[in-house]
Amino acid sequence: MPSTMPLSHDSLNAWLAVLREPLTPPQVAMQAWSEARTECESNPRQAALFFAGVIGDLVSTLPDADPWRHLSARLPSGATWHGWFDLPATSGATGHRGAFGTWRDGIDLAPPTRQDPRQDPALIALSMDLTPLAAAVLAASVHDRDAVAVELAAAPDLWDTGSSALRWAMWRRAVYVGPEDDLVDIAFLVWLGWSARIASGGTISEIDRAAMLGDGAISNDRYVPIVG
């Protein structure tokens, strides 16, 4: 039965530390990942709001010229958002290479240096393809986090979907600002609180959110694709 207790800040922040530090001992990383997963699966409503909020905020602060900010998406419910690209016929997202969600969607800013992305430090974060739902979550969260949260909360693979889409959103911002991205820390903290409030029937201040996003926005001239 889903818990009514708010998500643990300690569990989610320990997982964030693992995402930040690639040299984390494997045993520590596995424990943090497992505890965060258990935490999210115990409260799928809040977890879904948390993922949709953080992902949407990270993607919305990319340069306006970045195609990741303008993907087209279709959720399993049939809801669609038409960006710069053709709408997918089924659940998923589309970008300038067609179906979105492979490491090749990152090579405009991180040209490959190895044939296998698992051996490429710049692209290893994208070496596992996104599922169609995870791709749709990344693409649609910037437009309607509430609709995305409903889909995520009902998904049997909530954790895998939300965490993979979040990792990709973090990677994309890190290409511009480096691995020490203050907005990620702020968004984690803020959305742990906001998601609990919304899940309990409350509301959040869009004025405060706009101020946070304004501070973290990346200027449009920073998008300089290296590979088409």
* 91 to 76, 107, 139, 155, 227: CA distances (angstroms): 5, 24, 11, 13, 27
Mean pLDDT across 78-96: 97
Tens of pLDDT, residues 158-173 = 999 999 999 999 999 9
pLDDT value of residue 177: 95
Distance CA 97, CA 173 (A): 20
**DSSP assignment of 70-110:** G-EEE-TTS-EE--SSPPPSSSEEEETTEE--SGGGGTTTS
Mean pLDDT for 202-218 is 87
CA dist., res. 93 & res. 140, Å (int): 9
Q: Binning pLDDT at 50, 70 and 90, where does residue 85 land?
A: very high
Question: How many other C-beta atoms are found inside a 10 Å radius of the C-beta of residue 31?
Answer: 14
Q: Which long-range contacts (CB under 8 A, 24 or more apart) does 114-118 make?
A: none
Which pLDDT does position 228 carry in this prediction?
A: 60
pLDDT in tens, 6-36: 999 999 999 999 999 999 999 999 999 999 9
Q: In the numeric block, which tokens belong to residue 126?
A: 């994208």
Q: Grade residue 1 by pLDDT with cuts at 50, 70 and 90.
A: very low
Report whether 198 contacts 38 (CB < 8 A).
Answer: no
- Per-residue b/e over 35-45, b at no fewer than 16 CB within 10 Å? bbbebbebbbb
